[in-house]
Structure 1
Amino acid sequence: MSEFLFVFNNVMLPIAIIVVIGYVVQLRFNLDRVTLAKLMINYIMPVFIFMNIFDADIDFALLIYVLLFLILYAALTFVLTYLAGRAMGLDYGHKILFTNSNLFYNAGNYGVPVNDLVFRSDPYAMSIQIMMVFFQNMFAYSYGVVSLRSAESGKLKALLGYFKMPIFYGLILGLIFNFFDIGIPGSLYSAFDYVRDAMIGTVLFILGSQIAGISFRRIRVSSIIASAMRLVAGPALTILLLLLFRLDGVVAQAILITTAMPAAVNSSIIAQQYSDDPEYAAEIVMFSTLFSVITVPVVIYIALNIF
């Protein structure tokens, strides 16, 4: 119990405080969330990704192994949630939203700060996290858009647009500089390091502002079930796969903790553009985020004591 309270006080509570500040400030001043998102996506996140990969001691063969793990995890999650949605009698549109909310978890805005606090800014642990963020973004803006039956032009723009984003090049350049051991000038390193330090507080603030912008009119039982599957069934499936793949240590811990994250705000954003009932996705994001305050510390405790 003491270890659980330690995790809650030293990991979840600091995160919750900043998220609440973002939520309150958004309600008070109605900030431009689009501008905040652009600031994060085009400036802070690419530098953060580059610096953490640049500094990490990366086993590239292991990272490929991790990506294969995530693909299998996504496939099994799709099957389980699709069958659950079908069993509840959801129509096609809601069944897709139900499934997407479990496929797309908050590896970035929520997962990165958790990883940073749990592993005490360990570059290696963060390199695993960044690969998961990359996979989630690619997956969300490819399959996530296609699954909601966007127009052909929308599909193509979603697929090609990601390769124009600075986040993609932060990842690629970080991998290249790391693999070939390319150095950067000290002044540039210091400048980038300042930006990296701004990442955690800024991304949590933005998460709070995004949650404040979510609106819904009613509560549906299936959205509660979707949240429970994301927060409980998701990590349980991960544990089984980690044992099957014989992964342990920091890699297994980072993967398990991240797959315990709540539904990504991206799933709601995509639904707002392509779904007839975006409020359903918003419900799942809201409930899974709220309940994660309890479930994530439990998963962190399990991860650190089993793997």
Structure 2
Amino acid sequence: MSGFIFIFMNVILPIGIIVSVGYVVQLKYRLDRGTLAKLAIHYVMPAFIFMSLYESDIDFSLLFKIILFLGLYAFVTFVITRFIAKFIGLDKGQSILFTNSNLFYNAGNYGVPVNDLVFRSDPYAMSVQVIMVVFQNMLAYSYGIFSLSAENSGRARAMLGYFRMPIFYGLALGLIFNYFEIGVPAPVGSALDYMRNAMIGLVLFILGAQIAGIKFRRLRFSAFTASLTRLVIGPAVAFMMLLLFGVEGITAQAILITSAMPAAVNSSIIAQQYSDDPEYAAEIVMMSTLLSTVTVSLVIYVALHMF
């Protein structure tokens, strides 16, 4: 019990404080959330991803295995959540939102700070986290939009849009510079370090501001079910798969902890543009984020003691 309390006080509570600041500031000053998101996506995240990968001791065969694992985990999650959605009688539109909220977990705004605090800025642990962030972004802005949009032109535009994002090039260049051991000039490295160091506080603030901007009028039982599926069944499935495939150490710990993250705000943002019931996605994001303060602490405890 003391271990759980320690994790909650030293990992979850500091994150909650910054998110709360962003929430309150957004309610008071009505900041432009689009501009905040662009600041994260086009400024600090590319630098953070590049430097995390550049400084990591990456096993590229392991990198490929992580991608395969995440793809299989997404498929298993898809099958389970579709079954649950059908079992509780959701219509087609809600079933897609129910599934998406479980496929798209908050590996970035929430998962990265948790990883940084749990593993004490370990470069290898963060490189695993970065891979999960990029995988989640690609999945959300490809299948996430495909599943809700009937327009083929919108799908193609979404894919092309991803490859125009600086995050993609931060990933690609980080891997290239690492693999070929290309040096970064000292002034450039210092500038990227300053940008990277701004990432944790900024993305948590933005997460709070995004949550403050979500509007809904009710809380449905199926949204509560979706939240518990994301927070309990999600990490349980990941735990069993990690044991089945023999994944161990920091890799297993980072994957399991991130699999316990709440539904991503991206799922709500996508739903606002492409769904007839965006409030349903917002309910799941809000509820899962609140409940995660307890469940994520438990999963961190399990991850650190079982792997």
| TM over 0.5, shorter chain | yes
Task: Give the structure 2 partner of residue 20 of structure 1.
Answer: 20
Is structure 2 residue 55 aligned with structure 1 residue 55? Answer: yes
Aligned equivalents of 1:299, 1:193: Cα separation in 2: 30
Is structure 2 residue 13 aligned with structure 1 residue 4? Answer: no
TM-score (norm 2): 0.99
Paired amino acid for 1:212: A
For residues 101-180 of structure 1, the aligned pairs below 5 Å read 101-180=101-180
Deviation at 1:149, TM superposition (A): 2.5
Contact 1:231 1:295 in 2 (8 A): yes
Is structure 2 residue 228 aligned with structure 1 residue 238? Answer: no
Please list the CA deviations of residues 24-51 of structure 1 after superposition, one character each: whole Å capped at 9, or x if unmatched. Answer: 0000000000000001001110000000
Aligned to 1:164, the other structure's residue is in SS state coil
Long gaps (5+) in structure 1: none
Task: Give the structure 2 partner of residue 97 of structure 1.
Answer: 97
Aligned equivalents of 1:297, 1:173: Cα separation in 2: 34
Please list the CA deviations of residues 147-195 of structure 1 after superposition, one character each: whole Å capped at 9, or x if unmatched. Answer: 0124121111111110000000000000000000000111111111011
Is structure 2 residue 175 aligned with structure 1 residue 186? Answer: no
Aligned equivalents of 1:149, 1:194: Cα separation in 2: 39
Aligned to 1:305, the other structure's residue is in SS state helix
Please list the CA deviations of residues 207-253 of structure 1 after superposition, one character each: whole Å capped at 9, or x if unmatched. Answer: 00000000101111000000000000000000100001100100000
Please list the CA deviations of residues 114-145 of structure 1 after superposition, one character each: whole Å capped at 9, or x if unmatched. Answer: 00000000010000000000000000000000
Contact 1:150 1:274 in 2 (8 A): no
Aligned to 2:108, the other structure's residue is in SS state coil
Paired amino acid for 2:65: Y
Aligned to 2:226, the other structure's residue is in SS state helix
Task: Give the structure 1 partner of residue 204 of structure 2.
Answer: 204
TM-score (norm 1): 0.99
Contact 1:223 1:284 in 2 (8 A): yes
Aligned to 1:108, the other structure's residue is in SS state coil
Q: Give the total of aligned pairs.
A: 307
Aligned equivalents of 1:67, 1:155: Cα separation in 2: 23
Runs of 4+ in 1 over 2 A off after TM superposition: none
Contact 1:231 1:292 in 2 (8 A): yes
Q: Percent identity between the aligned chains? A: 68
Which stretch of the first structure deviates more once superposed, 187-196 or 249-258?
187-196
